Amino acid sequence: MKTAIQQTDIHAGSDQIKWKHGNFSLKAAWNCCRVTGNRCTWARLCWKHCRSRISLCVVIILHNKNLSFVNLQKRGLPVTSICHNCYAGDHSNEHLFYHCGFAVEIWRGVFDLLQLQVPQFLSLNHIVDWFLQNTMTKSLKSKILNGIFPVTLWKIWSSRNAMLHTGIQEQSSHAVQAIIWDVNTYLNISLADLLIVFGLQFFFLRYVVC
């Protein structure tokens, strides 16, 4: 220590503030002092192309912190773990958003309406991966799909809540229509744009004219 001090070349004059991490900015300063975790790969699917309340809901779902019956049981609440949509599985996120017949109808309906081949999804994580891989460009199609993902998860969850509190199951076709409508209005995409991007020749017949 003494040697280091002796070797330090001290000049007369006033002190100066130095920033040794490149160009100074508040962002650089914040990144320098904060503790960062692992990069969240699916974050860009949640925050870009939908309303903030939907983003927040989807982030909670993907962190598996939503109040599904399985999660409520983990917190010690005496509730059944059976899905009240189909009574054929547990009330976990994997079931609610992937296995459940209602979720299957919603995902299939969205892909059918957009005239995309329905992927062979293997799990909820697989659905996330599919949307990550297919929303990497800056094209309008990529932007729409990026909006479709969070809005669809949110719609499945809100339909589940409506079913729970009113006992009325929303028709999957209505839910699919609401998803497309929500994405269109938020992104301010015209029907003509949709027709160009996805070639929705059935859109008028099924959802506009009727």
Applying CB under 5 A, the residues found at the interface with Zn ion are 83, 85-86, 89, 100
Separation of alpha carbons 93 and 157, rounded Å: 9
CA–CA dist 106, 172 (Å, integer): 6
Nearest partner of 144 among 119, 115, 123, judged by Cα: 115
- Least separation, in Å, of the C-beta of 96 and Zn ion? 7
Nearer residue to Zn ion within complex by CB, 102 or 149:
102
Question: Taking a C-beta distance cutoff of 8 angstroms, is the pair 203, 194 a contact?
Answer: yes
Output 46 or 83, the one with its CB closest to Zn ion. 83
> Which two three-digit tokens encode residue 174?
């209505």
What letter does residue 98 receive in the DSSP assignment? I
Cβ of residue 158: shortest distance to Zn ion, in angstroms? 15
Please state the closest distance from residue 165 (CB atom) to Zn ion, in A: 17
CB 198, min distance to Zn ion, A:
29
Contact predicate 155/112, CB 8 Å: no
Q: Smaller CB distance to Zn ion: residue 73 or 134?
A: 73
Cα–chain center distance at 167: 27
CB of 105 to Zn ion, least distance (A): 11
Choice between 56 and 86, CB closer to Zn ion: 86
Tokens 């070797």 — which residue?
7
The H or E element that residue 45 is part of is helix 43-47
Residue number, 97 or 131, with CB nearest to Zn ion: 97
